[in-house]
Structure 1
């Protein structure tokens, strides 16, 4: 099933409607019925795990043979076909597929599609009539981390959501997607996964969705955290956690309805990422603003330095642009300034910083509130308090 703009709009209208929904003469009593989910598996006592299917390498095959892992994509399998590849899944869970592929959009390129999938996931997992225990989403690995971070900030009712993907196509002689998918389902179905936020199951590792990033372009061990470390590992394909549940100090739980009230609906405010180096041209910031950006994230040098362009940045700030400066380094913080005019991202990676800034702008934050959002916890720790009045 392909989701068009009309289909998505109809879904949003359904979610926001107040009257009860009816199937025939009987009141709908569960989210599964209301959302039309069809559960695969014969044991109704097993955990129900929603599969948000967006395609990606895990669903892609190659016409060039079993050795190709760079030129694939000509062949595709569905979410149901991925499930059918592993008969062990039915011994542990019930699965229902919600298809978020489209001929016109991709979750790797379109904020609106990802946001509507997020709204669907929130409704399925967090509504009062929810009978669903957790969810996984299949995703292309190029932007899997972005969707993980977005879901982590917007879907927070304790139920696990797990991102899965593959680095090799299913036609490859050593396809990694089957194991990642199975382990992701087992992670989402495990009661110990509750209240840990979004997680990513990849290459026998359990990685926090808040900190995850893609560290290698082709290696099957492609993902890792920019801070904290792994949450656990898979042993005999079952999850083992190193610690009890906790949440990142830097995490802010945004209200999905408030975000959806922004004029950018169904997408998010336009925020661009710029990369700083010697001779950085501050006019790029003004160009982004004139092209419709409401915010800019700069991947700064070192701990958040900007080599040049301060005057142009100041001019853009005066015109209402919001600016966050991170670090182009893969690890370490972008540290606060004594007297900030824009936000420094702390330990949050520039890619994740873009999403947090989008959500902050959509939530009505001004520049000072955005500074407090990104810097508050780190400033407290390093004894550098700040407020707009100081």
Structure 2
């Protein structure tokens, strides 16, 4: 795998064959995480907040050779993280920025590669949460097709209170109405704001502040592409400054996983294989068995209505007996997949199926069995609706 523009520690992290990614680097007289990770800070005022830029490309970095009206066939032109920063001279009046490049030449992207996303998450955890950290927050650029997946994963694994903000764009930088510059600036200002601490991962998009736990892409082309499946926005940007609606809080249904424990799973440096299936009339239960035969350790089913599966019960039961873990959500964009009175598999509650896949991956990597996964997804929901359950009951 060939990477371009990585810091020293990022390369070391990816090359490691064991999950001891948070270890001392062999460097003399190192006193801060910035020095240890080889970060080069842009900006001349050392008193300003340090914001790490995790650059993964995406539409925000893509341009088109087809003119200023094209917003569907772009990608032939690319700009770097440093070039994005240079487009806005106001950024370095407010922050110091260092770019860590997470693009590859020939091995996919964070939209296609779990191992790359996990290595970036480990790097972010080290940079922000280590005892020698001198970094105030981070943002990551990302293609919008899977921005929510990376955000949800990082939200469950990097939890030391420092803000991480996702940014992207729906239009290429060659477009006459490019939205990426504003989203990037807003994201940096959000990550640098002291009031952003202890709110979990956030998304800065179209002058909105959206929680990373609930975020999903609701429109394929509109600049106002993202929204929350539950809970609503956290705030908005006025004059490119964050204005929050409430004091800091975390989603009740959020579970913080140990990044060290997850990284000890045999799937390292990636995550256990979990597939998503879409349920409709005459759903074929053999698809579940096929996924298992193809190496899946878990399956998330986007069920009908309140988490229903029209058919395939026998095959699902067989897969469960063979050790497959199953979570059933709803294909509806809003609303819960509610628990059954006597469960055999987990219902996802208010967690959207895209996020449920990542949550199941982390649960399997953390050693959860099916009953523990049911408790993970359903426990608080059952408590709230007075429908308790325990294995064997």
TM-score where L is the length of structure 1: 0.97
Other-structure match for 2:359: 356
CA distance in 2, matches of 1:315, 1:367: 14
Other-structure match for 2:98: 96
Instruction: State the aligned residue count.
Output: 387
Displaced runs of 4+ in structure 1, greater than 3 A? 3-21
Alpha-carbon displacement from aligned partner over 1:292-329 (angstroms, at most 9, x marks no partner): 00000000000000000000000000000000000000
Shift of 1:105: 2.0
Q: Secondary structure at the match of 1:87?
A: coil
CA distance in 2, matches of 1:34, 1:12: 20
Other-structure match for 1:69: 71
Other-structure match for 1:337: 340
| Closer/same/farther in 2, CA of residues 87 and 361 from structure 1, 3 Å limit | same
- 1:179 has 2:186 as partner: no
CA distance in 1, matches of 2:11, 2:184: 30
Q: Secondary structure at the match of 1:22?
A: coil
| Closer/same/farther in 2, CA of residues 96 and 160 from structure 1, 3 Å limit | same
CA distance in 1, matches of 2:5, 2:271: 19
- 1:138 has 2:152 as partner: no
Other-structure match for 1:125: 128
Other-structure match for 2:235: 232
Other-structure match for 1:192: 195
- In structure 2, list runs of 5 or more residues that go unmatched: none
Q: Secondary structure at the match of 1:162?
A: strand
The 8 Å contact of residues 226 and 349 in structure 1, kept in 2 or not, is answered as yes
| Closer/same/farther in 2, CA of residues 107 and 17 from structure 1, 3 Å limit | closer
Alpha-carbon displacement from aligned partner over 1:26-75 (angstroms, at most 9, x marks no partner): x2000000000000000000000000000000000000000000000000
CA distance in 1, matches of 2:203, 2:258: 23
- In structure 1, list runs of 5 or more residues that go unmatched: none
Alpha-carbon displacement from aligned partner over 1:129-165 (angstroms, at most 9, x marks no partner): 0000000000000000000100000000000000000
CA distance in 2, matches of 1:214, 1:59: 19
Q: Secondary structure at the match of 1:97?
A: strand
| Closer/same/farther in 2, CA of residues 19 and 52 from structure 1, 3 Å limit | closer
CA RMSD of aligned residues (A): 1.5
The 8 Å contact of residues 289 and 316 in structure 2, kept in 1 or not, is answered as yes
Q: Secondary structure at the match of 2:392?
A: coil
Which of 90, 102, 118 does residue 115 from structure 1 map onto? Answer: 118
Shift of 1:20: 6.1
Other-structure match for 2:27: 22
Shift of 1:2: 1.9
Other-structure match for 1:293: 296
| Closer/same/farther in 2, CA of residues 380 and 300 from structure 1, 3 Å limit | same
Other-structure match for 1:55: 57
